[in-house]
Amino acid sequence: MTLYILNQHAFHHAGFQELSAMTPEDHLLLIEEAVTAALTTTADEKWQSLMCQISVLYEDLLSRGLADKIDNGCLNGFQVIGMRDFVVLTAQHNRVVTWS
């Protein structure tokens, strides 16, 4: 189980193709500038191709003025989590990979 943390817009990042090799046990967390990628409806097909859970960090949505886009704890189908859940994710996964 690997936790992947992405802090830049996913579709501008060379590592996006590596994300396609993720398994259902893996988790992708969008932080910092990458949270804006969750709003990209033109990339829905790419997101749907990933075989993992995807979350977005609430504090980074808030700092970018995007908290009003959250609906029932989700943003465009992605679970929105806080810092406490971020810490839990790092403890639950055997490996953490950060792309910047």
Radius of gyration of the chain from its Cα atoms, rounded to whole angstroms: 12
Contact 74, 50 (CB under 8 A): no
List of long-range contacts for 15-18, beta carbons under 8 Å, 24+ apart: 15/99, 16/46
Domain range spanning residue 87?
2-99
- pTM for the full model? 0.86
Residue 25 identity (one-letter amino acid): E
Q: Where are the alpha helices (DSSP H) in the chain?
A: 16-19, 44-49, 58-63, 83-92
- CATH number (domain holding residue 26): 3.40.1260.10
Query: Residue 44: is its pLDDT beyond 80?
Result: no
pLDDT tens-digit map of 11-27: 555 556 667 778 889 99
pLDDT of residue 59: 96
pLDDT tens-digit map of 52-86: 888 999 999 999 999 888 888 888 778 999 999 99
Query: Residue 21: which H helix or E strand, with range?
Result: none
The total of structural domains in the chain comes to 1
